[in-house]
Amino acid sequence: MTARLVLLMFYLLVSGAVAQAPRLCPSSCYCETADRISCERGEFETVPTNWPTTIRVLILKNCSLLRIQKHAFRRYAKLEELIIEGCEQLRSLEKYAFKGLNRLRLLRLSKNGNLTEVAKNAFSLISNTHGLRIQLEDNAFTTIRPGIFRYIYDCINDMIRVILI
């Protein structure tokens, strides 16, 4: 009888803790699965650091991002796809903004109408042996500086595909 009581108390304790667990999907976002987050019209000026670290696909559309800061995605090392689109307030990508995204296969920055400033090493230190596609479409770049893609490590030359439209 005592064992059953202990098990019942343990079950109630655990089920209560699960019921009170914080919501994993960030507000103003939609989580199709635990590792795929899509945020539309998010009210954040920089990349949040309190999202689940298990994200593999992150889509940021029409958000209020002002800049992508240095090491912005450090906590999200499992990212395979990163899409930042239609963030009209986005103006700059800082040095090493995407550093450490070793699993990244797709980086799409598109329709960010005020994105003019890209630090020299913004795309540097992405290490990937699976191939990387970088799409830079319909942004307001005025200059692409020499060496902007330098130090993308371990990507075989023909596996890096940069599309500027």
Q: Where are the domains of the chain?
A: 26-164
pLDDT at 31 over 80: yes
In the predicted model, what is the mean pLDDT of the chain? 80
Q: What is the mean pLDDT of residues 38-60?
A: 92
Using pLDDT thresholds of 50, 70 and 90, give the confidence band for residue 1. low
Residue 120 has what pLDDT?
84
Total residue length of the chain:
165
How far apart, in Å, are the Cα atoms of 45 and each of 34, 60, 68, 77?
24, 12, 9, 21
pLDDT at 2 over 80: no
What's the CATH number for 26-164? 3.80.10.10
For residues 144 and 136, what is the distance between their CA atoms, to the nearest angstrom? 11
More confident residue, 20 or 129: 129
pLDDT at 58 over 50: yes
The residue among 112, 118, 108, 123 whose CA lies nearest residue 145 is 118
For residues 111 and 158, what is the distance between their CA atoms, to the nearest angstrom? 26
Specify whether the backbone of 71 is left (phi greater than 0), alpha (psi in -120 to 50) or beta. Answer: left
